Amino acid sequence: MQKSPSTSSLGPGGLDLAQAFFKPIQNCDPPSSTKRHTKISVIGVGNVGMAIAQTILTQDLADELALVDAKSDKLRGEMLDLQHAAAFLPRTKINASVDYSVTAGSDLCIVTAGARQNPGESRLNLLQRNVALFSNIIPPLAKYSPDSILLIVSNPVDVLTYVSWKLSGFPSNRVIGSGTNLDSSRFRFLIADHLDVNAQDVQAFIVGEHGDSSVALWSSISIGGVPVLSFLKNQQIAYEKQTLENIHKAVVESAYEVISLKGYTSWAIGYSVANLARSLLRDQRKIHPVSVLAKGFYGIDGGEVFLSLPAQLSRGGVLGVTNIHLTDEEVQRLRKSAETILEVQSQLGL
């Protein structure tokens, strides 16, 4: 199910019309073989996968986009729908196939595929089904794009990022989970809304599990370069800790609210993942709270676990984790979050 054939070969006998349309200038070199060609593959064309694909296209992040899904009819329909918007988008070659060979040579592979939870099914059983699904996804991605970066979006993202790392055999810097990048965006929005400022002027991180045990780093929040809690303390402005807890609770519950209202989340995660893709492929070296191998950080030594920490991202993946200061309480909560993830991993028998 490749991209529709180019119309340049519609001349008599399959003549390449491009040669007739364009006459080369004199004394020119052939096209450079070293010209950078950026390819992104998106695995899974559900609501999340297509929101990511659409955002990648509108933000001109790739020269080539490959889509993979097990449902061939839906896959072809989504491919054609995007191709038909070519006149309104930056030029991007779009391919789609149920065969993973279409992903060959990808710079970035984004995995959104995942099994749906059946009525009455336990979270552990769902996770085990997703692990089985990933055993059919990650090895072929690694085979066809051995130098790519894996960006895992499927939930539970921290555990599945760990699973992807094990299945791929990739170095840990090239296996990343979308983690709490979106949670932190929600966090910044709520703080900005609370204080009536622009969310882009709020520096704030949610770390740990992308889930109920996530940790809000209140001690390091700043607005316009001003540390919020220390400012309140110096100005002797009282605040209630419960107010802070309520904001964090709203972050954790926000995805559930969106799902209850529209049935799924898509646009925010689409922008979040495209934001990560830009930082990675454009070598932006920006800091994002994403799921990385956390062993050795903040006393997390109980095992190999992926969870979100503020990490610097580049063309090669994760450059390192920001040495951000945490309070004792934040460290304890982060370690507890790691233990929560490790407990789930221990039940998988990997």
46 labeled binding residue:
yes
**Binding residue per annotation — 155?**
yes
**How many residues comprise the chain?**
350
Is 69 annotated in a binding site? The answer is: yes
CB burial readout 171-192, b (16+ within 10 A) else e: ebbbbbbbbbbbbbbbbbbbbb
> Is 183 among the annotated ligand-binding positions?
no
**CA 195, 198, 202 angle in degrees (round to 5)?**
75
How far apart, in whole angstroms, are the C-alpha atoms of residue 277 and residue 53? 11
Measured distance CA(275)–CA(146) in Å, rounded: 23
Nearest to 40 by CA among 113, 114, 86, 104: 104
Q: Which of 321, 313, 319 is nearest to 283 (CA)?
A: 313
Query: Alpha-carbon torsion 313, 194, 207, 272, what sign?
Result: negative
**Can you tell me the distance from the alpha carbon of 188 to that of 203, in angstroms, rounded to the nearest whole number?**
7
* Half-sphere exposure at residue 300, Cβ-oriented, CA atoms within 13 angstroms: 27
Q: Is 29 annotated as ligand-binding?
A: no
* Residue 130 annotated as lining a ligand binding site: yes
Q: Which one, of 44, 158, 134, 113, lies nearest residue 53 by Cα?
A: 44
Task: Enter the tokens of residue 262.
Answer: 């529209």
User: Is 154 annotated as ligand-binding?
Assistant: yes
Q: Which residues contact 30 (CB under 8 A, 6 or more apart)?
A: none
Question: 151 — phi, psi (to 5°)?
Answer: -120, 110
Residue 114 known to bind ligand: no
At 329, the amino acid letter reads E
Q: Which of 37, 84, 194, 210 is catalytic?
A: 210
**Does 325 qualify as catalytic in the annotation?**
no
Query: Pick from 166, 179, 152, 149: which is nearest to 317 by CA?
Result: 149
| 4 marked ligand binding residue | no
Is 44 among the annotated ligand-binding positions? Answer: yes
Q: Evaluate the omega torsion of the peptide bond into residue 156 and state whether it is cis, within 30 degrees of 0.
A: yes
Q: Are residues 334 and 326 in contact, defined by beta-carbon separation less than 8 angstroms?
A: yes
Structure tokens given for 52 = 């990511």
Neighbours of 118 (CB within 10 A): 10
Does 279 count as an annotated binding residue? no
Which positions are catalytic? Answer: 210
Known binding residues: 44-49, 69, 130, 153-155
Known binding residues for NAD(+): 44-49, 69, 130, 153-155
